[in-house]
Structure 1
Amino acid sequence: MAVAKSKAGKHAAPLLGKYELGRLLGRGTFAKLDKPELAATAGMDARVLGEVSAMRRLRHPNVLRLHEVLATRSKVYLVMELAPGGDLLSRLAALPKRRLPEHAARRVFLQLVSALIYCHARGVSHRDVKPQNVLIDADGNLKVCDFGLAALPESHRDDGRLHTACGTPAFAAPEVLRRKAYDGVKADAWSCGVILYVLLAGRLPFDDSNIAEMCMKAHRREYTLPEWVSQPARRLVSRLLDPNPATRLTVAELSSHPWFKRSLSLDSQLGSLLGGAPERDLLFQAPPTLNAFDIISMSPGLDLSGLFGENRRSREKRFMTTASPEQMVEQLGHSGAKLGYFMVGKKGVERLPLGGLSGLVAMSMEMSEVAPPLMLVELRLEAGDDEEVQAFGWDELRTELGEVVMAWHGCEEL
């Protein structure tokens, strides 16, 4: 990031003694927050506070992280995670056909679903899910952002429903556009359906400058999918773009749909399309080799994590295997699917987060070569609070993994 300089050519003074301001990356509704302007604009201060409240309770690999909030007498600064890859809409617009191949669309959509299930499990409805609010990090991973319109548990009335019509019309559910009481979780599911349609077709399903007419088209399901879209994908879009919220599929129910049960191939297209490193090159990289000092340091007897307040053993499990990285990824994917988890590619086969459809935890896997063909597999829960980590089904996962797991004396087994 380029650092801002003063007229004298020197670096500008660090902001509040902590940050150096660099070049402008983008501009949004709340990109520049002046306290007098917040106070003068009706509802804007509440939206900013709502966004901060929502993001402070969310910590997920596919949700943009809020690091801290700083304030001076005149300004408010939200320090967020950097996502230099731009937004999903811009990425799609740069593609020749403005859409993704179905296998790549599935992998993008999985990350979006994982983030929203996590949010919903914590009582947060986004209410403005659209490609512009999905950013891309340096590795090509999705980061859901802009929680300015998010509804928190305290936003619901006594009937448990939401009553504020908000969001972007082309992505908003019919019941929201018609200003009826609605379920924020079901409204987010509709928006996901619109995004999935855009990923597959390269255009919006309902696009009309007349909002009333667009609402009628959505209510009548007046959309057509291109012939290249598979039947399972068509059925999924139909279940999400259901104008009746009572029968509409929720994002938490997606694990049972055939389109999500298909195994995800470790191809290179997602990385090259969305700006991450090509996975084809990473797929065939040799795993790192462990020396004697690495192996000894992994002994439970030398585990010093307890001195630092971290319950490492509840978050990490290790085992030996003779399976190849490709075979291990495939087996972990099949085993996780039976338990309600799915694989999301990150950096080839050496590190792949396992995002639970419960939305509560995310797991990464790393493999290292000990002595051919022996490999050390390390599983670690990257996200989730202590209660969720303690409740994670390690025993069930070991059972599903079956014969690929080999015990190794001196290292904690699954």
Structure 2
Amino acid sequence: MPSLSCSPTITSKTRLSVSGNHPSAHLSSFCAKFITSTNTGHSEVLLLSTDKPLTIGRGPTCSYVITEPVVSGLHCKLYAVTSSNGGVIVSCQDLSTNGIVLNGHRIRKASVILMDGDILQIPSSQKFECVLLEREPKFRIHPFDPTPTKTGSPLKTKDIGRYALTSHCLGSGSFATVHLAMDSTANRQVACKCIKRKGNDKIDKVKKEVDILAHLVHPNINAVCASISDESFLYIFLELCTGGDLFSYITSKPQSQLCEGEAKYIMYQLLKGLKYLHDRMISHRGDSPQPENILLYFPGPYPRIQIADFGLARPRGYQETFNVCGTVSYLPPEGILALDNREMGYISMPADCWSSGVIMGIHPFDYAKSPDESQQYSYEASAEPYDEKRPQDGSGRSDALVKQRIIHGSLHFPRQPWDSVPHARDLCSDLLVYEPDDRITVQGALKSLWFTGELPDLETVYRARIGFV
């Protein structure tokens, strides 16, 4: 986990009062605008960037102040965060006593994703029209025919049971797309993973994800709300996270660094989520505990995280598996050996612990190559990159070098910041122990000095923000 030595920093709220016309050159740093009219008929525009959220409420320190009594002191908060697909997620978090209204749907104590043309309203008060200034990347939208490919194509909807599935794509993979949907019964937004049916064998395999998740209830696990299938698709409706993913969150920070307090809070949640799985003999294996598959429930500092993407999850995680899966950079030594020798197997739960150590150590096996380094290793790794879901970052040769470092235990901990946080370095080293039987478990990791030294504070913050311990 990036830089662990700084103190928490929270940007103070600033007031924004924007109205009238703006030269287009001034809009280049903004990704959305919200157009509203006051009760006097005066038009105003709020501009939103990824640098700072906007707040709407009755309080004088809000970015946009509405003095009407139906408005809470801090009614809602508008965010724009970058996503791993290169786009921007614009969202609104309700913080009020009487909720917000999105396109006629009352939303309470939740966060929603806003699309171009959406109407956001403070009940019995002002309306705000969302206008996106930065378009999302183009995706192939499988559930909709014809596929909308042109920028500015109208949003389409498709009724799936009680859900209204939209053509707004939140992400795209090799065998599925994730779309925004509205649960018309509960008046909440959800995410929908749409998987094209190509045969019963594949659908039966994917249903394992649904069966596992449907019985899991934990604040750090992305939950399944429902699953529906038709002759063409399997639709998995999931709890919506509006803060993007951990990878994008980290890289958005200066020098891609988090302070120690925030890094500790995030790792604490990750390990609590994995402990919940391991206590039920379920493992994620190497692919899921990585920043791209860890979602932020809401935007903002010290986020609540959720482990997502259970496509590779394995029940009976204490048993040996011969089906190697995951991204090379996150595979443990026993996974690398099994990858290059398919007759070998490994236990999945220790692999989850290893992956957590890779996250905490910021890819401690992936660093600049030293002269003739590859000749220092006796293990000859396959140069062919392996990933059953997505192409590898980098070349096959760099993958082979990372494999060699993992097999030979060539950990790299820069003196800064690690010398200043010895307990964090010790935990990371314990998670990255070569022998899986000697590797620390998630239960042991949660008892490390890095956490126990501040455990009362951690649990207090966890309960206050999440309401679960």
Instruction: Report the TM-score when normalising by structure 2.
Output: 0.52
Superposition deviation, residue 19 in structure 1: 2.1
AA of the residue aligned to 2:227:
V
Q: Which residue is 1:194 aligned to? A: 358
Which residue does 2:402 correspond to in 1? 214
Answer whether contact 1:135 1:142 (CA < 8 A) is retained.
yes
User: 1:17: how far off?
Assistant: 4.5
Shift of 1:2: 5.1
Residue 3 (structure 2) aligns with: none
In structure 2, stretches of 5+ residues that fail to align are 1-112, 118-143, 178-192, 339-343, 368-393
2:312 corresponds to: 149
Paired with 2:284 and 2:329, the residues of 1 have a C-alpha distance of: 15
Aligned to 1:251: 442
Could you say what the CA RMSD is over the residues aligned between the two structures, in angstroms? 2.9
Q: Is the 8 A contact 1:125 1:188 kept in 2?
A: yes
**2:360 is matched by which residue type in structure 1?**
L
Q: 1:16 aligns with which of 145, 157, 161?
A: 161
Tell me how far apart the structure 1 counterparts of residues 165 and 345 of structure 2 sit (CA, whole Å): 45
Q: Letter of the 1:175 partner, please give it.
A: E
1:345 aligned to which of 453, 456, 461:
461
Q: d(CA) in 2 for partners of 1:10 and 1:105?
A: 38
**2:240 corresponds to:** 82
Higher RCO (CA 8 Å, separation ≥ 6 residues) = 1
Q: Tell me by how many angstroms 1:132 deviates.
A: 0.7
Partner Cα separation in structure 2 for residue 10 and residue 146 of structure 1? 26
Query: Are residues 9 and 205 of structure 1, via their aligned partners in 2, closer, same or farther at CA, if it must alter by over 3 Å?
Result: closer
Q: Distance in 1 between matches of 2:356 and 2:366?
A: 14
3-state SS of paired residue (1:175): helix
Query: What pairs with 1:131-150 in structure 2 (closer than 5 Å)?
Result: 131-138=291-298, 140-150=303-313
> Is the contact between residue 2 and residue 23 of structure 1 (CA under 8 Å) also seen in structure 2?
no
Residue 379 (structure 2) pairs with residue 234 (structure 1)? no
Query: Match for 1:138: what amino acid?
Result: F
Cα separation, partners in 2 of 1:75 and 1:181, compared to 1, 3 Å: same
Instruction: Give the TM-score, by structure 1 length.
Output: 0.58
Aligned to 2:172: 27
CA distance in 1 between partners of 2:347 and 2:158 (Å): 47
Distance 1:150 1:11, change over 3 A: closer
Partner of 1:224: 412
Structure 1 letter corresponding to 2:244: G
Contact 1:50 1:149 (8 Å CA) reproduced: no
In structure 2, do the counterparts of structure 1 residues 3 and 69 end up closer, same or farther at CA, with 3 Å as the change threshold?
farther
Residue 331 of structure 2 corresponds to residue 172 of structure 1: yes
Gap regions ≥5 residues in structure 1: 265-332, 335-341, 355-361, 364-414
The residue that corresponds to 1:313 in the other structure is: none
3-state SS, counterpart of residue 414 of structure 2? coil
CA distance in 2, matches of 1:55, 1:34: 16
Paired residues for 1:251-400 under 5 Å? 251-263=442-454, 333=456, 343=459, 345=461, 351-353=464-466, 362-363=468-469
Per the alignment, residue 114 of structure 1 pairs with 272
Structure 1 runs of 4+ off > 6 angstroms? 3-11
Larger relative helix fraction: 1
1:163 aligns with 322
Residue of 365, 368, 386 corresponding to 1:205: 365
Shift of 1:249: 0.6
Q: CA deviation at 1:4?
A: 9.7
Q: How many residues align?
A: 267
Corresponding residue SS for 2:366: coil
Alignment partner of 1:124 is 2:282:
yes
Shift of 1:46: 4.3
Residue 152 of structure 1 aligns with an amino acid whose one-letter code is P
2:181 maps to 1:181: no
1:10 and 1:27 mapped to 2: Cα distance?
A: 17
Summarize the alignment of residues 62-73 of structure 1 with structure 2, pairs less than 5 Å apart.
62-73=220-231
In structure 2, C-alpha distance between the alignment counterparts of 1:17 and 1:108, rounded to whole Å: 34
Q: Which has the higher strand share?
A: 2
Q: Percent identity?
A: 27
- 2:198 corresponds to 1:37: yes
